[in-house]
Chain A
Amino acid sequence: GAVVSQHPSRVICKSGTSVKIECRSLDFQATTMFWYRQFPKQSLMLMATSNEGSKATYEQGVEKDKFLINHASLTLSTLTVTSAHPEDSSFYICSAPNRGNSGANVLTFGAGSRLTVL
């Protein structure tokens, strides 16, 4: 089945630094990837949609200069949290859609990245 690999799984950084999270589709090509953010005991909130070869689409209220998304190839999407602050501490998860035979947008998720900003 489809596998999405996400790294790093955990990262601790100092306030003001930037952190890059990578998401790779291992055995399929993903022209689109979705980036979600999840706070403790809350649901997944869609941050942005990355598209290979074009600019990412950000959800309302998400700062595109803060959360830089690059979809460099058909198998790699990256999220960079720039000038991170403690309030950016969260669980970030990428996912790739697979419409398959159902025609529905079934998502394969990465394992997630726990970001802690000190």
Chain B
Amino acid sequence: SQKIEQNSEALNIQEGKTATLTCNYTNYSPAYLQWYRQDPGRGPVFLLLIRENEKEKRKERLKVTFDTTLKQSLFHITASQPADSATYLCALEAFQKLVFGTGTRLLVSP
């Protein structure tokens, strides 16, 4: 069966450190993968998209990697800040619909 898995346990890190979140998928062959941020009680907000032929994508303090052999994407936030605390969701497109992972909650403490 198709699965998109993210670590369900919250990730706690200290301000200034790099946060790394993982997204693993099975039985998908995505042309691209997306990352969204969701704050409590709010809708998700699009952050980054990476294509299957791209190894790495950067946007300010964010970096995403995509390994289609491992079927994995890593999402990095460098120099993390308390304002980065949120839930981060990865998503794949299947049959013109976006399917989301369960998300990983990131807590950045001062």
Interface residues in chain A, defined as those with a beta carbon under 8 Å from any beta carbon in chain B: 4, 6, 34, 41-44, 46, 49, 91, 93, 95, 102, 104-112, 114
Q: Does B79 contact A (CB under 8 A)?
A: no
The list of the 6 closest CB pairs from A to B, nearest first, reads: A109-B43, A43-B102, A44-B100, A93-B43, A112-B43, A43-B100
Q: Is the Cβ of A43 less than 8 Å from the Cβ of B97?
A: no
Given A104-B93, A112-B42, A112-B43, output 19 extra A-B contacts at Cβ < 8 Å: A41-B8, A43-B100, A43-B101, A43-B102, A43-B103, A44-B89, A46-B97, A46-B98, A49-B97, A102-B49, A105-B93, A106-B34, A106-B46, A107-B44, A108-B46, A109-B44, A109-B45, A110-B43, A112-B41
Report B-chain residues with C-beta under 8 Å of the C-beta of A108: 46
Given that A34-B98, A43-B100, A46-B99 are known contacts, is A107 also in contact with B49, CB under 8 Å in the complex? no
User: Of all chain B residues, which has the CB nearest A92?
Assistant: B43
Q: Does B96 contact A (CB under 8 A)?
A: yes
- Minimum CB–CB distance from A27 to chain B (whole Å) comes to 16
Q: Is the interface of A mostly helix, strand, loop or mixed?
A: strand
- Minimum CB–CB distance from B53 to chain A (whole Å) comes to 13
Q: Report Cα–Cα, A106/B96, bound state, in Å.
A: 11
User: Of all chain A residues, which has the CB nearest B99?
Assistant: A46
Report B-chain residues with C-beta under 8 Å of the C-beta of A43: 89, 100-103
Q: Report Cα–Cα, A110/B49, bound state, in Å.
A: 19
